[in-house]
Amino acid sequence: MASISKQPNGRKTIQFVGADGKRRSVRLGKSSMRQAEAVKVHVERLAAAAVSGHVTDAETSRWVAGLDSTLADKLANVGLIAKQERATLAAFIDGYIAKRTDVKGATATVYGHTRRNLVEFFGADKPLPDITPGDADEFKLYLLEQGLAEDSTVRRRCGIAKQFFNAAWRRKLIYDNPFVDLKSVVHGNAELFHFVTREDAQRIIDACPDAQWRLLFALSRFGGLRCPSEHLGLRWGDMDWERGRMTVRSPKTEHHVGGESRIVPLFPELRPFLEESFELAEPGTEHVITMCRDSGKNFRTHMKRIIKRAGVKPWPKLFVNLRGTRETELAEEYPMHVVCAWIGNSQAVAAKHYLQVTDDHFSKAVHYPVQQAAEPRRTGVNDSNDAHERTPVLQGSAASCSSVQLSKVGDTGLEPVTPCV
């Protein structure tokens, strides 16, 4: 049990017996009896939890999380709570980013953008516990006022902010995450999709100044590689010319199990550009792309100039749209799980961010009817028709059998091809 002692000038002191059996005091200063009684209730609960070794109740935990630094320090000095770190926004985020040595450069850049927005809106010295869910809602509106896209950039930055504050919550610097209810799932923006036709691709390739730029473009358009990370990581030793495959290392997904690399076919559209660069490479050359080994190189700026030189209008997301174009093409010919294994993403990500509806899809829908099986005739139990007559017949199956094209089974057989260990 705890007690309240009154002192001159309205000062109050709460006294209690600690877990070590010693009498402790918490001086409240000038306060009303009602305020002192409220503090006394929580002190009793904290003291009981300290003696029993149990976690205190949720109500008292919330009360502790909302304490000002003065009273929190007094409670910490008598052993009722842990010494609280009153973290400020900029200092905490800077420390968090510095410790995230596992993230790649692009992710660190997004962290930096979100950090800048948070500090601009809240102020660098804003205490983390003082930021409320209502403040988080206003932060989202602030991002929208900056002209950022809601379904992509705003959601992504709200998601990063949620990540920052979740880390603060896990360190018990805040009681709850004020950003937890903000939508952070990024949706694909169809307005930024663009299908790069083979005709435009050929015009761009013809406008490239040398073999390296032709290969850089072809690896994105016909290989579906991420630019620049996967281009720069490609080595001549990764080429299996005889089996028609190459090993592509993926810095973006290497932290996932099995995501450090994938096997990609040497597609017929891609192989000539690889062979051209291989023949031009100096003896002992290790990397496929040699014109710039800086991962921060901005290939986009010069590629945009090449596209304009080819007489083609640059599209919104230069290299992402090339990758999406290739995945859309492959999805027309191969099972989706195979396509995703080659491109290096999941089917959910492919459907949301890469796969596109093209003009060819509409053209085929208008000019070619969908082939489907005719429904079998319903028969009764006494129907005398044999099983052959009851077999459904596909539309168009009356054509001569000689018109059916047969293809030979390759050397690998019918099972999915897997890389050698």
CATH of domain 89-187: 1.10.150.130
Start and end residues for every CATH 1.10.443.10 domain found in the chain = 192-362
Contact criterion met (CB below 8 Å) for 350 and 340: yes
pLDDT reported for residue 120:
96
> Which pair of structure tokens corresponds to residue 96?
């968090």
Measure the CA–CA gap between 148 and 145, rounded to whole angstroms. Answer: 7
pLDDT reported for residue 403:
41
pLDDT reported for residue 404:
41
> Which pair of structure tokens corresponds to residue 300?
């986009």
Measure the CA–CA gap between 381 and 27, rounded to whole angstroms. Answer: 93
Start and end residues for every CATH 1.10.150.130 domain found in the chain = 89-187
pLDDT reported for residue 414:
42
Domain 192-362: which CATH class? Answer: mainly alpha
pLDDT reported for residue 8:
80
pLDDT reported for residue 295:
56
Measure the CA–CA gap between 65 and 71, rounded to whole angstroms. Answer: 11
Paired with 400 in beta bridges are none
Each residue's pLDDT, cut to its tens digit, for the chain (421 residues) gives 788 888 888 899 999 888 888 899 999 888 889 998 999 999 999 988 888 888 788 888 888 877 777 888 888 888 888 776 668 999 999 999 999 888 877 788 889 999 999 999 999 999 898 899 999 999 999 999 999 887 778 989 999 999 999 999 888 788 789 999 888 776 556 677 899 999 999 999 999 999 999 999 999 999 999 998 899 999 999 999 999 999 999 887 776 777 789 999 999 999 999 999 999 999 999 999 998 766 556 788 999 999 999 999 999 889 999 999 999 999 999 999 999 999 988 788 777 767 877 777 787 788 877 766 555 555 554 544 444 444 444 444 444 434 444 444 444 444 455 444 3
